[in-house]
Each structure stands twice: as C-alpha cells, then as structure tokens.
Amino acid sequence: MTEKPVALIVLAAGQGSRMQSDLPKVLHRLGGVPLVGHALATGRLLEPEEVIVVAGHGAEAVAKAVAKLDPEARIALQEEQLGTAHAVRQAMPLLEGFEGRVIVLYGDTPFIGEETLANLASHAADVVVLGFEAADPGRYGRLVTGPEGLERIVEYKDADEATRAIRLVNSGVLAADAALLREFLPRIGNRNAAGEYYLTDIPELARAAGHRVEVVTCDESETLGINTRAELAQAEAAFQARARARALEDGVTLSDPATVWFALDTCIGRDAVIGQNVVFGPGVTVESGAEILPFCHLEGCHVSAGATVGPFARLRPGAELGGDVHVGNFVEIKNAVLDEGVKVGHLTYLGDAHVGEATNIGAGTITCNYDGVGKHRTEIGAHAFIGSDTMLVAPVRVGARAMTGSGSVITQDVPDDALALGRARQITKPGLATRLMQALRQKKGN
C-alpha cells in the first residue's frame, strides 16, 4: 500500500490512573474489544511488516490480550514508564534490520482512520507529525509551521500569547524513518519537570540536522484519547453512532438504530434486517437477507442468508447457522452447526452439536454436553425430529430421519429411521388426586 515498508509501534504501557481501575487502561473495552485492538486493527490495514506493542503496567495481561487480537504482534517491555521516547526506545531492538517508515500510535487513541495512517506512511518527509485543528486548543502543544514545514512544537506552558492562539495542535502520533529514530532517540534528554523522555523532541532534533519535517492533519474526532470512564462512555457513543451510520449506508435495515450495539468487527450484509435491542459481540457475521429479531445477543457466530434469529435468542461463539435456519425465542446455541433449513423454535439449548438439514428440534430440548470435566458432542442427522423436552446426553448420535419421543432422555445412539423413547412408564391411580388433596387440607386444618 505504500512505497516504503511500514512498521507500527503501539504504546500501551500506561496505568491510566484516572480510570480508577486495576485493569490497564488499554484493556478497557470499546466496541466489544480492548482499546488497543482498535489501533491494531486500523494499523493492520497498512499491511505492516512488523507490529510492536510496548507494554508496562499490567504487561502480562496486555500481552495476553494482544496475542488474541493480533497473534503476529510482538511485545516490548517498558519496566519503568519514563516517557514516550523511552517507550519507543524499548521497541527499537525488535526492529533491528528494519528499514522503512515507523508509525508510533497510542493504545488509548482508537479512532485514527486508515486514510490518515496511509498519509503518514506515504509522506515524503523524513518525520511526519499528526496534527489537528482543535475547537478548543486548551493545553495541547502547538504546532508552529512555516514555508519549510513544521518549525517546532511548543508546549502550552512554554508558549507566549501569540503561540497559544494557534489552533493547530499536536496529537502525539508521529511517523519517521527507522534509521532516523535509531539516530535521534538516544539524544533525547529528560530535563523537564516530569523527568521524562519525550518523543516530541524528535522533530526538533531532525530539523536541526537538516531533515525534512512536516505535518499531516486529520479531523479532531480521530484523535480522541481515553483517560477517564466518562471519556470511554463518550467514545462508545461515538463508535456506535459511526457503526450504525455505516450499516445503514451499506444497505442494512435497522428497525431502531439507537438500540442496536455493534462490535469493532461486526459484519452484516445488505438487506439484512436487525430488530430493536440487538447486541453484537465480537466475531459476528450476518449474511445478506438474514433477519435478527429484537432482544437477541450474538457473539462469535455466523448467520447465513435467509436465516431468522429470535426474538430473545442467544448465539454464542462457534454457532454456525446455515441458510433458512430458524432459531426462535429463548434458544441458546454454542459451538454448534445447524445445517440448512433446521428449525429450533423455542426454549432450547444446543451446545457442541451438529444438526443435519431440515431437522426439527422441539421445545425444551437440551444437549447435555458437559459432564463436569469435559465437553462432549451430539450429532443429529438430516430430517430428524426431536420431540419436545428431549434430553440428549452426549456423546450421542441421532440418525437421519430418526425421531425421539417427547420427554425422552436419550443416552444411546439412535439409528437412522428409528424412534427412540427414553422415559418412565406412566402409572395412573384413579381418584387418588382428590383423596390426596382432601387429606392434605385436613392435615393443614389441624
């Protein structure tokens, strides 16, 4: 995508004390995934050769989360949080031998867009700083530019009134050639009130050495950083608004957009219909023409074209619904494949199962898949009929075109075309109900 190879360094070492949390700030969730996942996902669109995440506070937890989000990313450890330049220095040994453009991102800044990153990656300057026109510049560092590009970054406390009037401010995001970072990072000092090493010194050092330093700008909304729970809530609202707008633009029907919640990677095809109060967790794909009725929760699942889900259904990770499948109210599906045309009307749990095409699952059916230690699978063939309130004690197989009687407990395999009954024989005692109730009432009266 760019002329130069690209590497990403994502800074994710801070504690985020203003979050008032034991959880590292970058692991707080936005759009169903940790904050750091947004930077990783957008950065991956550049097809970088290397992705390095700098972890510090809660490094073990951050590394574990990153391994799930981006298995190819590598972790650099910043044992002491001594500033942004110090953090980047911890990552540079992992980029030994890399020659190209390094982009430094922040794990708590989730909205920087693909186009902005592409501009940083492809710019001809040796150092590129990402800036934005702030509605309220506040205490941001000001970017002072001239005919030859970025002249200097002036911190608010060091700025005179004329400089403070500048609305072009620094986002903190920076791109520079790897060779230049190797040269200048060791020269950065920490003679400041915080005693930290700041990445913002790089542009000044580079310019003094005759390198070209420029500014790329983006919309202020892209640079929103998360420092408090209130800001996290604001970011969630912004993320959901964008996701809803994008879905509508892509041809998805949202019956009540404000009540539908998306995850970062939610994928919905055109002409799908999504009802009110539907929540999408991570890893959901809904194909074109499917319908998700109100009050459903979906995570880690795939819904094929023509399928209907809900209302009040839950699809958990590993649920795979084939074409024209119907999953009704109060049905839960986990780690189970339902082939084309399967009908699961209501009040059912299917876990660790495979259900063949056109099979009907009666109300109250449960796959008893967990024995307290391990999970076991249930296999149900095509065109089978599972009677209401059937308990399928896994591992077990019900053959094609087979049936189970209502209220059965199935503990053995059922051959193709067979009827299985697994319930106690009914015994009827004429008149006993009336006599029993009379006796109970007399006893209570005593």
Q: What is the mean pLDDT of each run of 10 residues along the chain (446 residues)?
A: 84 92 96 97 97 97 97 96 96 96 97 97 96 92 92 88 94 96 95 87 94 96 95 97 98 98 98 98 98 98 98 98 98 98 97 98 97 96 98 98 97 97 92 94 83
Assigned CATH for 229-420: 2.160.10.10
Would you state the pLDDT for residue 2?
Answer: 47
CA 29, 112, 154, 14 dihedral sign is positive
Would you state the pLDDT for residue 444?
Answer: 86
Q: Where are the domains of the chain?
A: 6-223, 229-420
Q: Is 376 a catalytic residue?
A: no
Amino acid at 322: G
Note whether 373 and 357 are within 8 A (CB): no
Of 57, 86, 346, 376, catalytic: 346
Note whether 360 and 383 are within 8 A (CB): no
End-to-end CA distance of the chain: 88
- Whole-number Å distance between alpha carbons of 105 and 86: 14
Q: What is the pTM of this model?
A: 0.90
Would you state the pLDDT for residue 446?
Answer: 60
Non-local CB neighbours of 310 within 8 Å, separated by 6+ positions = 275, 278, 292, 293, 294, 295, 296, 327, 328, 329
Would you state the pLDDT for residue 1?
Answer: 43
Non-local CB neighbours of 116 within 8 Å, separated by 6+ positions = 130, 216, 218, 222
Would you state the pLDDT for residue 16?
Answer: 85
DSSP state of 147: T
| Residue 194 Cα to chain centre, angstroms | 35
- Whole-number Å distance between alpha carbons of 173 and 401: 62
User: Considering the domain 6-223, what is its CATH architecture?
Assistant: Alpha-Beta Complex (3.90)
Q: How far is CA 306 from CA 272, 316, 326, in A?
A: 9, 19, 9
Would you state the pLDDT for residue 179?
Answer: 96
Note whether 182 and 88 are within 8 A (CB): no
Give the closest residue to 46 by CA, choosing from 110, 114, 94.
114
